[in-house]
Structure 1
């Protein structure tokens, strides 16, 4: 029986454009394969859509989906390339003394008296250590914040310059701990045992920080004007801490890998959304299971339908049955080939009779897709994202006042509302729109989470 390495050839998994192993591979109608980002960029810079390999032209730009079969094979190839030592033997052991992956030959020849364990055991132990380190980082962050608070309450006099200097040191340490926390969470997402052990380094997990036990409020009692300055600085530190927690929860970093990690984090807060027929505009059709809504061009309207006070009478919208007034929640919507749609969240008191004014106080936080670009509902005419999205993820952190929209298929952010102030229940909001920008009768469909790789 042939081995896996003989069945897989690296040349078979190289993108013809970037000449590297496929990343999110897609297949064109002519049968050639490319990285999603490579072929998308190629077509964005071309006057018409054609295959870069065989030059076959397409009348319409193909709607490409990730080829999961090729993607899995490419991942296996990368794993095979990185799972062997210099002697072409499988890495099955881990030296705890040197933090090094080993084959059986290397273990017996160069690490005979070292603490060597199987990869699986090392992986499980370091996973546990990572959990403890992550908890310690969070504790250190909170200790620094509470230290400033306690000094604010107990100290009456000190120099403003020294008060500002102390808090500046705390802010710097919190930022360092923030970056550490992000790295720990990203490392914790790694399921490949070999990559995890290669990335893990116990000597660099925690940054150098101040010993808070040496910081005492009594040292500042003889200084003047401390109270006012420190209260101001503590308020600034609270803002920094809130921003830091937001960054951690979203796995900030800007790379494709961190964007995927952010989306995976959000997806764990998936909730079951069902549409509320009592809120639906009369020209909308809902599916029996409450998961789809579409514009019904031929639907009639009669006065009796407007007796329901919860119904939208001008806005082609419908809300979810369930409202949220705390915590986090997430849902995904399939938009298909629609040319216009609007999705987000709305307050319970959103205006339902007559036109809805597009302003910051209208009670609606949503993105509006029109043909090939995105706007926010409250800022018409100002594009915030370009391109088409077939599946959008909506994440809400009620307590932090954040709403984020993600392109699920590409694991990339679309737009985020931040520093919002919510005072009432929020309901998922859906508007399939009419046919103003072309055929648009496809439904908006609430779908189960599509977990990113």
Structure 2
């Protein structure tokens, strides 16, 4: 203890808590107590009585004992300054070696602290064991923090790749949209030019006809004017004998007036022919140049080794994988891809042109199939498929079922009836000969499924479209002229 603090420790201890005074107050009876200890005593025992001599205090708020407070602070400071002896840390309150660790207050304590009122009922363990337990706990926490940090680093890298991929996807999709609309615009421009040319042709034809009529009418008018002039002169200028001598010729000329004016039907432009249902007729003609695909591939699910066409209707394997983001929807272990639209009701079908491809799997897969591990495309894993592998056609049951196919399949039709729980395969080249059918009660969405490890493409064939116009008010179809 510092030489400036010469009182014994007992004189600097609170009679209530037996520790060094903290914020001491002085009662009229000259006894001092910690302010907190005195208030607790007054609240639970005898209000405004001295805990030592039982004398009643006159004030509810006793004054602070500044002198005693300074002595206690000096004692605490001296203990702090001398608390380190070599490598041993001593208790700042009692100067004893810290041999225990309080599990309740999470702090090291000495033997005196352990026996005091503050820690008397607390669980305490030796500092060596507490330190080892603390290290073990911190090591576990460090591993968790490091694992979280590694996950965040990977997430950051993946997010940056996805950010770049999103920009590239947007630019490429924008380019393809513009290209498609350029084709549509070109068709409309050509169709507009053809319609205007037809109008111009009819205009020239009708104008030529009218000009011919005008020319004929003008010639007839000139002849009639000359005839009228001659007859008028005969009547007015010639004497009676001369008039009678020329009477026969004059009457014949007067009667020779030629054909009268003809009224021509259809001389005007046939406006109705050019404008009748013009939008519909152009649209109907456009359908002949537009293909409809029953299935569109989803590039966000495609394995990096698959190359998809710009129309997203064909796929083929490539040995040079694309650099694609590691998104959860993507197949990472096998060359697979799903259709864009999930199916959860009704009947659907699509035809796949397999061509020269000798390594493929076709069918449907449910939403929850595993995409980051290689699994068999079988019903227990959420797949209902058939395949061609090693020149053998098999239905992917468990175990696979060999299929009897006499000739190589150039096309395969996949039909899904979700409500009835059936996935069937047919040979469209042989009058839709059934190949195999699965039965399963579906409980979630399924998607068209494709797999290949061949450089020869699998192509989803487009479907023919037909236009039906319903008669207003009846709901019955009617014929609309082109």
TM range (shorter): 0.3 to 0.5
The alignment's TM-score, normalised by the length of structure 2, stands at 0.34
The higher radius of gyration belongs to: 2
* Structure-1-length-normalised TM-score: 0.36
Q: Which protein, 1 or 2, shows the higher relative CO under an 8 Å CA cutoff with sep ≥ 6?
A: 1
